[in-house]
Amino acid sequence: MDRYFRAVKDYFATKNYEFVEECIVCGRKTGITPPYYRQMIIAKCSTCGFTWSVKQPTQAVLDEFYKESEPMALWAKIKESKKEGVRQTKKFKKLVGWIRDNKVKSVIDIGCGNGKLLEEINALKMDIRNKGFEPNKAARDEAIARGHGVDAELFKYGSQYAMLTATGVLEHVKDPKDFINTHNVTLEDGGYFGIIVPNVDSLVVQYLGEEAATFCPQHLWYFNIETLTELMKQCGFTLDSYWTEESELEPIKKVRAGLPPYAKLNGLKIKDYLFNEQKILGNNLGYKLVAVFKKEEIK
């Protein structure tokens, strides 16, 4: 993982940037806070509270990064590890349970990576038609090798799916509202949009600030449930349910013990009597925000 973060830093250090000073949620221009991160400038809207990166890589840079860069090739290998597979299964468990309990008949996963969510849906052994889209060749090839139907290019199938999922995608795209509206047509009326994004209100972000892993050049937007719900409302969706995953308790414990958040402990165990995973997730302070929205039906 350290190698991946170094590769990301080196990749973006020499690339072109542009400045985004207008809030994509309410449209207001806002003042700029002090930098959170070495290559970043973070703004928070004084009107609606939305947080974003003012200094963003250009679309051309992002296209190159996601399709064929060295960091993304490393990321694809990390995703194939057993440890990462366990983490992904845990992250998707409640979302997959929601799909099961609501008897969803078809799912299309945008930015499906190596197909882990599709794999978990198939493990339900229910008749759920599913498909994925993934621009990165290494991840896409792995998904296809695992037997998943995955496209390399964006598509428009019309209203053919009961649910669309985008996990770890919305924070990366240049125009989230356009992304939502573009894929909205893929959903049936009354269909569902499942989203996973980093939670800017998470406890780990509150404790680590600029050192939190979420503050990286390829993350353009930082959502909490209020700003995500407002953005989705503008695109014709209402909130059905939400929760958080990944407590990120270990870096919090390290910081509280006076250590660097991602320090290697070489077997040393740190006890923390104030926080535990159940308390963090129970108060929706987990690192990942998971939300399901319902598409408004046309009357």
Kindly give the interhelix angle for 70-79 and 59-68, rounded to the nearest 10 degrees.
Answer: 50
Compute CA 174 distance to the chain's CA centroid, rounded to the nearest angstrom.
14
Closest CA to 226 of 81, 44, 102: 44
Task: Render pLDDT for 3-50 as a digit per residue (tens, 0 to 9).
Answer: 888 899 899 999 999 989 899 999 987 655 555 444 578 888 888 999
Distance CA 217, CA 232 (A): 24
Task: Render pLDDT for 248-258 as a digit per residue (tens, 0 to 9).
Answer: 999 999 999 99
Question: Phi and psi for 248 in degrees, rounded to 5?
Answer: 50, 45
Top CATH class, 2-295: alpha beta
Helix (H, G, I), strand (E, B) or coil at 190: strand
C-alpha Rg value of the chain to the nearest Å: 19
pTM value is: 0.91
Task: Render pLDDT for 198-217 as a digit per residue (tens, 0 to 9).
Answer: 999 999 999 998 889 899 99
Break the chain into its structural domains and give their ranges.
2-295
Distance CA 194, CA 170 (A): 11
Looking at every residue in the chain, the average pLDDT score rounds to 89
Closest CA to 20 of 176, 177, 220: 220
Closest CA to 164 of 130, 140, 134, 198: 130
